[in-house]
Amino acid sequence: MKLMIKVQKPADEYEIRELTRLFLPDQDFMVVSMDGRNEKSGMDKPDGQAALVVQTEMQHEEMETRLMVYSFGKINLTWSTSVRTVTDQRIQRKNEKNLLKRTIFNLLQSWYPRWLPWGILTGVRPVKIAHEALRRDVDPAKAIRHIQEETLMAEEKAALITEVACRQKEYLGKLNPKAVSLYINIPLCPTKCSYCSFASQSVKSHDDPILREYLEALLREMETVFGMLKEKEYTVQSLYIGGGTPSVLSTKQLEQFLSRLSELWNLQTIEEITFEGGRPDTLSREKLSLISKYPVHRISINPQTLHDDTLHSINRRHTVQDFFSVYEKAVKTGLININVDLIMGLPGESPEDFQQTLNKLARLNLQSLTVHSLAMKRTAGLKQQHFQFEWEDEHAKSVMQLVYEFVKTQNLEAYYLYRQKQMLANMENVGFAKPGRASLYNILMMEEKQTVLGIGAGAVSKLIYPHENRVQRIPGIKDIKVYLERMPTHHEKWRRVLEQL
């Protein structure tokens, strides 16, 4: 039975489509707008192949906005619900949109029952909702209730994001308006992981010319950005060196990169520097020792799973033992704050397999752990291979509960959280850390509280205008070859970008 939903405003199409997809992930359906026209006539004859049509209509009255819903097909019904009118048009529009989403959610839940603890939420930054609720109600308990009322979120999730928001306050309360964060992207990897959707390129060998060519271009762009920041008297609060796999650079190239970075900026003035080592097979003792000579506060060593068969199937060249060996070497060189990334729901892994991975990590004195739910991104190899999630929703829910129980035993706290489209069981990605070990960059970037400038191919800059409640996204050139070709124009690009700060 094909479903068609007709919404009154084109601006509502996208969110209602994403909401409907949560209930019908593998079925064909349509969400269309009526461009403000009243199309109640003809509701007794579904359009085209649609066997079920839902039509919505907003009626604006003096003290309230009433939502009228008409349905034909599965169940014939007509009903209305309303929201009080407020003077702030932005808030009023948001209230009306949430009313529409709650109504469609309840309707779909009655027809296609599914466990959806995040309610009507389809966005990637749910903690923003908690920050907003806490601004209205300082009392967390009241904030949680309001979040549930507005979003139909399960109490456990509303409590989780409120807890995270409260924890973030100590980091967000000391922002300098003349400070920015930086992301330096090295989108090169030994191999392409099957789940990865990033615009990264695999290198053929340690001698691949693309390593040298890209590093030379990246250093030139870094010179431009750091020079302009100094001219404008900006400070850098946090710096994230990511990818890709930055440690795919040879020891000599990595030394060239870090040395030039320290020449361009006094690294001691940066509150937090993170180096995303990523693959254990790219982190030698020499590279770890080199990194430890610089004021790097945090490093990531990301196995994603602690099962060798899975590592092989997702196109990673390291073993479980490689991970533990590199982790031990990093600690010995003084790199104490190490983040470990895991992914739930990888191909061929059962919920019991993931639990075994957690158990294996218990032997480490974890400082930071990030748990991701597998997401089916459009450009990922798994998506192109038509991979289907192998876990039932209830199994995924049970495993996520095990994660929250595990981190308690490790004295780790949730400090940032985000979601993605087409995630396993519509769940979440969560970053945990010991008290005092949370990543400032992750918080600033995810909550969009500070301008982040992205340097390198594929890096995205986000200019934050808090007084306008506005974020301007400036994508970088994804293709490395095109990035190299356009290097002469980067100076003009950055001049335009920094003029907007």
pLDDT on residue 43: 41
- Residue 173 domain-assigned? no
55-63 contact pairs (CB < 8 A, 24+): 55/5, 55/6, 56/5, 56/6, 56/7, 56/8, 56/100, 56/103, 56/104, 57/8, 58/8, 58/9, 58/96, 58/100, 60/85, 61/85
338/364 Cα distance (integer angstroms): 11
pLDDT on residue 49: 60
Same domain, 153 and 202: no
Residue type at position 53: V
In this structure, what CATH number is given to the domain that contains residue 199? 3.80.30.20
- Residue 336 domain-assigned? yes
55/376 Cα distance (integer angstroms): 30
For residue 259, the enclosing domain spans: 179-495
- Sign of CA pseudo-dihedral 123, 126, 131, 136: positive
Domain final residue, candidates 130, 149, 168: 168
Same domain, 65 and 129: no
Select from 190, 179, 268 the least CA-distant residue to 229: 179
The ranges of the chain with pLDDT < 50 are: 36, 38-46
Instruction: Count how many domains the chain has.
Output: 3
Same domain, 322 and 470: yes
Same domain, 140 and 101: no
- Residue 428 domain-assigned? yes
Same domain, 296 and 410: yes
pLDDT on residue 47: 54
Q: Name the 3-class secondary structure at 480.
A: helix
Same domain, 145 and 234: no
- Using CB atoms within 10 A of its CB, is residue 461 exposed (0-12), middle (13-18) or buried (19+)? buried
- Residue 501 domain-assigned? no
pLDDT on residue 23: 94
- Residue 227 domain-assigned? yes
- Residue 322 domain-assigned? yes
Q: Which residue has the tokens 């995924």?
A: 396
pLDDT on residue 41: 39
Same domain, 205 and 104: no
Same domain, 271 and 160: no
DSSP bridge partners of 77: 71
159/147 Cα distance (integer angstroms): 9
pLDDT on residue 414: 98
Same domain, 132 and 95: no
Select from 131, 137, 136 the least CA-distant residue to 161: 131
Same domain, 335 and 224: yes
Angle 464-421-198 from CA coordinates, rounded to 5°:
70
- Residue 500 domain-assigned? no
- Residue 256 domain-assigned? yes
Same domain, 333 and 434: yes
Same domain, 216 and 319: yes
Domain final residue, candidates 78, 94, 114: 114
